Structure 1
Amino acid sequence: MILQALVQHYEDLAACGKVAKPGWGLAKVSYALYLNDQGEVVRIVSVKTEQQRGKKMIWAPQEMVVPAPVKRSSGVLANFLCDNSSYILGVDSKGKPKRARECLEACRELHENILSDVGHPAAQAVLAFFRSWDPEQLQTHPAFQAVQEEMDDILGNANFVFRYDGEYVHEIEEIRRAWQAYSTADDDAQLRICLVTGQFAPAAQLHPAIKGIKDAQSSGASLVSFNAPAFCSYGREQGMNAPTSQYAAFAYGTALSHLIADREHINYIGDTAVLCWVQGGEPEYQDVFGGFLFGDENNAYHAEDYHQMAHDLATGRPFDFHESRIDPERPFYVLGIAPNAARLSVRFFLRSTFGDMIRNILAHQKRLEIIRPSYDQNETLSLWRVLNETVNQNAQKKTASPVLAGELLRAILTNTPYPATLLNGVTLRIRAEHEITRGRAAIIKAYYLNQRNPNPDVPKEVLTVSLNPDSNNVYYNLGRLFSVLEDIQSKANPGINATIRDRYFNAASATPAHVFPILLNLAQKHLKKLNEGQRVYYGKQLGSITDKLGEEYPNRLTLPQQGSFQLGYYHQTQERYQKNSKEDM
């Protein structure tokens, strides 16, 4: 299913002219070698372009469609008309002159095999170059002397292409035909029924190496591979264990590489790269999806557009975005892949209509809605903020668990219950820091709202956006009571260093029967420091809450009961802050 979807995406991109055809691929090219009729290098010109990286503009290699690069793991394998200095010039900066000579010889042999029968002058110039070039010329050659300041880059891993008479050699039609004939001729290929396309076609022995995934091997990692006898069956080797046609292997590899290279639409959650695409290939769907899920305001939408777009998607109506028509019924795909040694591990693969996925995201954001501090101007909580609530911000590594990130994203997009590890992570942070932030309270609320079977200890009457003073839930009101007691202490002792929240919060939310009598006795002493009006005000607040608690406090609270306590505390505290903010105004 994954490979079929990627092959279809390749065909959509190819129809728009956005990806290379079979036998061709993208490569990052830094320099062009200008050749004359005798195959001599007359100039070396940088083809780098100015590109934006974050907030900076830098000069970086230019992506070009060139003859498809080979998959290198070890040994010597040359590319046609586009390669690095070891293969094109027979030199490198790694101190391995013997290997560089072997690379040059392999490159020379490859070009002889492909271009020897091509009559175009450019082909003969390239052959003349390889027949006459001596790596010893590099130190004294005028063309290389003119670019001495760039020699470190030239001798590094930079790629070269050839130019002849004002044209890139790999773009000349006669030479392209020669390469196409060479690249598609495979006398050793076995004919098999392709598991992806269903067609009887030459099978790929090796699948493409996918480059660009963070923390994966720089030389590329395989999505499909068989590298040990334990993975093989019936004596078949490598790709023959799951026959995939050469076309399908090329197509899915090209589509996947295109998605990874699209910096505007690739997002990382932990170690997982999240890729998405729509059937048809229009990038506007990725813009909208990224904006709703990741909160990317630059790519997705302006604040004034958000509510209208959400309403249209919720009701299944198409809408216009960046002069494109967004159809909620279009099939949409989300793929999560992570590095695993020399391979790529599929964390999740989801397929649905675009409208369904966005509606699930909106339902997730609706569950997260909770009263927010006056200084928090964000209407919604992005996925990053939700995950960050489970992370110790004082730790050296401030990233959420990649497993949790993948499980959470799957739960959001499929509208299924959130993983228990999300609630556990938030609970640990509350216990460690004695603080309930907007994000943590929102997660507790959303987690219990999205359970298949409602928990009686966390009823809907406490899972509200703001304070519910009419709730009779004991655990919720205990949280409210703790917030009022904290407020009394802060009014009686302005600027106090350690409040009852710092000393008693964990104990109060876990064993209230042991703690609240102490806190109430302490509150009576604090009330004596206040003026009469304040004593009356707080006395009414305490009375209205304690009337709902009965004569005895619970000995121990379970995790769900603590969730109600934490929500009661957060709601009561925010109600106090909101009131103070209005009074200041």
Structure 2
Amino acid sequence: MILSALNDYYRRLAAQDKVPASGFSSEKISYALVFSGDGTPLQIDDLRDTSGKKPRPRTLQVPYDKRKTSGLHAYPLWDKTSYVFGVTAGEGKKLAQEHAFFKQRQCELFGESNAPELRAFLKLLDKWHPGMLPKLAGYSEEVLDANFVFRLEGEHQYLHESKAAVKIWTSALDDNDGNVGQCLITGENAYLGTDHPPIKGVNGAQSSGASLISFNADAYSSYGFKEQKNASISKAGIFNYSTALNYLLRRDNDNHQRLQIGDATVVFWAEASDAAHAEAAEGFFAMLNEPPSDEQEAAKLGSLLGQVAQGRPLAELDPRLESGTRFFVLGLAPNAARLSVRFWCADTLDRLARHYVQHHRDLQLEPTPWKGIAPGSWWLALQTAPMHGGQKPKADDVSPQLAGELMRSILTGSRYPQSLLSNLVMRFRSDGHITGARIALCKAVLARAARLAAHSNSHPQEVPVSLDRHSTHPGYLLGRLFAELENAQRGALGDQINATIRDRYYGAASATPASVFPMLLRNAQNHLSNMRKKDKGGLAHTIEKEIGAIIDGLGDTFPKHLKIEDQGRFAIGYYHQSQVRYAKRDSTPTEEASAQGENA
């Protein structure tokens, strides 16, 4: 399914001239050697893009047949300096062999051509010796081991782009060899290939590329077939899927079909009646995962999602979004020299949009911890990383499996991973950051689980979006109670205390309430008495009344233990109660109100 969808996507890209034709590849080229008609090397042209801080190679479509391995292999009319010139920055134990192999292959391909530019190129190879390179204009040590192409003096196109060279190379490709069989991608009988090009651009994978399809041990052999022969894929199919995937993974600034979630590099594409509708769908999905920073654009997206939530199809809301558009999302993770498929989703754009709407509903929390619509999934995954000493969370600290499972649940509308809730509860205890974003994720996990359980004739208590004074859930009530006890402490001792009860007792209070709350309640009486002595009797009365109301809902005894779901509700209750107090302090900046609560 993955390869078939990529094969179809290649055809769309090829029709738009966005990808190379069969037998060519988009490779990073840094320099061009300019030579004269008699084969004399003249100068080195720097082709790199110098618009940024560091020069970057230019991407050119060059002849390509298979990836290099440990053996010798040279490409037609381009290669790195060890092959082209017999020069390298390293030891170069095989320099002579590599350069000789390069010359041999060029002669085999173009030796019988009468094209002037190719005859001049062959003369260049005859004249060349490695000592010429440092004497050429434009030479520096930066050229060593870079990829080179060739250009005849006076010509604007590179040698590999000439009609004669393209015709000869295309003809050489048509001389197919190998077995004929049914291609697993297209279902057609064709020449089967065994060499799968490297997939480049996956973060954490080898810079030279990694394999998506690979067999290297006897355990993977089947029916006597070895290595890549186990995958019956035609040469054309191999080229198409690999070219399309490498196009999606390119690191260009204008590539909006690629994003990073944990260790997974995610790419996506659409299939519609024409390229315009497909590109519009891809742009819409990109905005869902990275909401626009512009307020007007964000408001438009929020309005559109709101109407989707009411059941209106996307095609009615935006004529560029076609009904029935198929959409594909692929998450790839590095695995040594190979790639692992972290997740794969194929669905209609309308259904994906509804899943994202439900995701935003599940995240809904008051007060809202962000401006506008909910942030992208990569930002949410980042909230599961530890936050110590005021430092921002790092992507490297996000669990790879958790990030992938989170993205899969968003795409499919299935349950969020239970490990997400466990991870968040653990973070509350370890780093003490009970942030709104983390609480929203807790609420999302519990709300979705409750909704899906309701469909199976179970009736769990609803997870509140904002402060619910009527909720009787023990975990939620205990969280509210803990927030009020902290408010009492702050009211008595002020905001400048070194450590609050949250810093010292949050973990125990949320996991084993019976062991902590009796002591906290005794201390609260001292705090309330202290507040009355400081002429804060009104505030003390308000807090005492709130504590009493919460305790009345709990019953006679505190629970000995709270399971992980109840600890999540504890955090939500704590957040709601704290934020209400904080909001009151902002709206009525009196002496009493200023002593209550903090922004959790």
TM-score normalised by L of structure 2:
0.89
Q: Which moved more, 1:564-573 or 1:514-523?
A: 514-523
**Change in 2 beyond 3 A, CA 1:362/1:199:** same
Moved over 6 A (4+): 455-458
Q: CA deviation at 1:500?
A: 1.7
Give 2:76's aligned residue.
Answer: 80
Q: How does 1:161-200 map to 2 (within 5 A)?
A: 161-166=150-155, 167-186=157-176, 188-200=177-189
Cα distance between partner residues in 2 of 1:427 and 1:347: 25
Cα distance between partner residues in 1 of 2:448 and 2:103: 64
Residue 239 in structure 1 maps to residue 234 in structure 2: no
**Change in 2 beyond 3 A, CA 1:493/1:475:** same
Give 1:278's aligned residue.
Answer: 270
Code of the residue aligned with 1:213 in structure 2: it is V
Query: What do the CA deviations read for 1:61-113 (whole angstroms, capped 9, x no partner)?
Result: 111111125311112110011111111111111122x5222112111111111
**Change in 2 beyond 3 A, CA 1:487/1:459:** farther
Give 1:383's aligned residue.
Answer: 377
Cα distance between partner residues in 2 of 1:68 and 1:346: 26
Aligned residues of 1:480 and 1:569 also touching (Cα < 8 A)? yes
**Change in 2 beyond 3 A, CA 1:396/1:380:** closer
Give 1:317's aligned residue.
Answer: 314
Code of the residue aligned with 1:357 in structure 2: it is L
Give 1:502's aligned residue.
Answer: 503
**Change in 2 beyond 3 A, CA 1:513/1:138:** closer
Cα distance between partner residues in 2 of 1:397 and 1:61: 27
Paired residues in the alignment total 568
Aligned residues of 1:291 and 1:297 also touching (Cα < 8 A)? no
Aligned residues of 1:32 and 1:163 also touching (Cα < 8 A)? no
Aligned residues of 1:84 and 1:160 also touching (Cα < 8 A)? no
Q: Which moved more, 1:78-87 or 1:519-528?
A: 519-528
Query: What do the CA deviations read for 1:116-163 (whole angstroms, capped 9, x no partner)?
Result: 222211011111111121113334x3xx1x224xx2121123333333
Residue 102 in structure 1 maps to residue 100 in structure 2: no
**Change in 2 beyond 3 A, CA 1:36/1:385:** closer
Give 1:70's aligned residue.
Answer: 66
For residue 130 of structure 1, give the secondary structure of its aligned residue in structure 2: helix
Cα distance between partner residues in 2 of 1:175 and 1:382: 47
Aligned residues of 1:29 and 1:161 also touching (Cα < 8 A)? no
Q: What percentage of residue pairs aligned between the two structures are identical?
A: 34
Cα distance between partner residues in 2 of 1:572 and 1:207: 58
Q: CA deviation at 1:564?
A: 2.3
For residue 222 of structure 1, give the secondary structure of its aligned residue in structure 2: coil
Code of the residue aligned with 1:43 in structure 2: it is Q
Q: CA deviation at 1:229?
A: 2.0
Query: What do the CA deviations read for 1:290-323 (whole angstroms, capped 9, x no partner)?
Result: 221244648x9822222233245442132787xx
**Change in 2 beyond 3 A, CA 1:22/1:163:** same
Aligned residues of 1:266 and 1:274 also touching (Cα < 8 A)? yes
**Change in 2 beyond 3 A, CA 1:529/1:407:** same
Code of the residue aligned with 1:335 in structure 2: it is L
Aligned residues of 2:66 and 2:196 also touching (Cα < 8 A)? no
Aligned residues of 1:434 and 1:506 also touching (Cα < 8 A)? no
Residue 533 in structure 1 maps to residue 533 in structure 2: no
Cα distance between partner residues in 2 of 1:545 and 1:216: 53
Code of the residue aligned with 1:124 in structure 2: it is R
Aligned residues of 2:77 and 2:160 also touching (Cα < 8 A)? yes
Query: What do the CA deviations read for 1:205-247 (whole angstroms, capped 9, x no partner)?
Result: 2222222222222332221122222211222233322211110
Cα distance between partner residues in 2 of 1:415 and 1:579: 37
Give 1:14's aligned residue.
Answer: 14
Residue 583 in structure 1 maps to residue 598 in structure 2: no
Cα distance between partner residues in 1 of 2:424 and 2:467: 21
Q: CA deviation at 1:262?
A: 4.8
Q: CA deviation at 1:427?
A: 1.1
Query: What do the CA deviations read for 1:17-57 (whole angstroms, capped 9, x no partner)?
Result: 11111111111111111221111112221112245xxxx55
Aligned residues of 2:453 and 2:459 also touching (Cα < 8 A)? no
**Change in 2 beyond 3 A, CA 1:456/1:385:** farther
Q: Which moved more, 1:101-110 or 1:262-271?
A: 262-271
Code of the residue aligned with 2:82 in structure 1: it is S
Q: CA deviation at 1:371?
A: 1.8
Code of the residue aligned with 1:443 in structure 2: it is L
Code of the residue aligned with 2:314 in structure 1: it is R
Cα distance between partner residues in 1 of 2:439 and 2:457: 18
Give 2:566's aligned residue.
Answer: 561
- 5+ residue gaps, structure 1: none
Cα distance between partner residues in 2 of 1:293 and 1:458: 32
Q: CA deviation at 1:532?
A: 2.5
Which residue of 128, 148, 152 corresponds with 2:123? 128
Query: What do the CA deviations read for 1:305-350 (whole angstroms, capped 9, x no partner)?
Result: 22233245442132787xx812252100001111222221112111
**Change in 2 beyond 3 A, CA 1:137/1:262:** closer
**Change in 2 beyond 3 A, CA 1:134/1:319:** farther
Aligned residues of 1:508 and 1:516 also touching (Cα < 8 A)? yes
Query: What do the CA deviations read for 1:348-383 (whole angstroms, capped 9, x no partner)?
Result: 111001121122122112101112378x53541432
**Change in 2 beyond 3 A, CA 1:39/1:319:** farther
Cα distance between partner residues in 2 of 1:397 and 1:258: 24
Aligned residues of 2:81 and 2:148 also touching (Cα < 8 A)? yes
Q: How does 1:379-458 map to 2 (within 5 A)?
A: 379-394=373-388, 398-451=396-449, 452-453=452-453
Q: CA deviation at 1:517?
A: 2.3
